[in-house]
């Protein structure tokens, strides 16, 4: 290869590498994405508690036993109407241990929840799984994972524990029912359930009336 051609090739390769790096950087999760998605608060707060949501999932497994029935996925219309954001958080296999590479995304979630726009709003942290494993087991696994994310948001990221509730729905709400083992089903759903805490003139925090 001639020196000039070699130099042009190296320049092209460098430019391509920079472009690819920029593209990857642009697709990484950032707190503004989360804030913008969660700030559209509905006038109708969620009437169900975290415990009731968990029970809905348990009841779905008992009512329709066996492999997840695509025709009987858990539907919660109230939840679908609320402002929400979905993110993939990676865990160790068959574990609730958050992988190190996902802590940046957990940090981005925390940054969004520290934003004054969302301050004091209640957030559901809902864990979902694919269909690998039994349905009852996946309910428990998704709950442990949701609990792990809630715990990480509180410590080390300093989110007020009073605004966070963790719920595991297992494989009862598949994102892609046609591909039940696909990675897209292994996700964390953040849902804004309305104002939980209000603030006085001096910044003091109290339960909203």
Ordered DSSP codes for 99-147 = PGGGHHHHHHHHHHHHSTTTTTEEEEEEE---SSS-HHHHHHHHHHHHH
Task: Please state the pTM of the whole predicted model.
Answer: 0.83
Q: Fill in the DSSP letter of residue 98.
A: B
| pLDDT at residue number 28 | 72
Residue pLDDT, tens place only, 121-131: 999 999 999 99
| pLDDT at residue number 43 | 65
| pLDDT at residue number 203 | 65
| pLDDT at residue number 201 | 66
Q: In order along the chain (209 residues), what is the average pLDDT of each group of 10 residues?
A: 52 45 52 93 78 97 94 93 94 93 96 94 96 96 98 96 96 96 95 83 69
Residues, the chain: 209
| pLDDT at residue number 202 | 65
Q: Which helix (H) or strand (E) segment is 171 a member of?
A: none
Q: Please choose, from the candidates 206, 207, 88, 185, the residue with its C-alpha nearest in 3D space to the C-alpha of residue 135.
A: 185
User: Would you identify the CATH topology of the domain 29-207?
Assistant: 60s Ribosomal Protein L30; Chain: A; (3.30.1330)
């Amino acid at each position: 290869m001639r020196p000039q051609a070699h130099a042009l090739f190296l320049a092209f390769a460098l430019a391509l590498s920079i472009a690819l790096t920029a593209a990857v950087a642009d697709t990484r999760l950032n707190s503004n994405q989360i804030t913008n998605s969660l700030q559209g608060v509905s006038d109708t707060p969620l009437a169900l508690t975290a415990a009731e949501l968990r029970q809905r999932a348990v009841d779905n497994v008992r009512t329709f036993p066996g492999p997840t029935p695509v025709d009987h996925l858990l539907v919660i219309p109230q939840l679908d109407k609320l402002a929400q954001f979905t993110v993939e958080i990676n865990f160790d296999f068959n574990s609730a241990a958050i992988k190190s590479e996902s802590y940046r995304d957990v940090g981005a979630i925390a940054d969004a929840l520290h934003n004054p726009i969302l301050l004091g709003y209640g957030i559901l942290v809902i864990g979902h799984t694919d269909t690998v494993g039994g349905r009852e087991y996946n309910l428990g696994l998704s709950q442990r994972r949701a609990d792990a994310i809630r715990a990480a948001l509180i410590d080390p990221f300093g989110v007020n524990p009073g605004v966070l509730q963790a719920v595991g729905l297992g494989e009862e709400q598949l994102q892609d029912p046609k591909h039940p083992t696909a990675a897209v089903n292994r996700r964390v759903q953040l849902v804004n359930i309305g104002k939980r805490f209000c603030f006085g003139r001096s910044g003091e925090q109290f339960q909203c009336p």
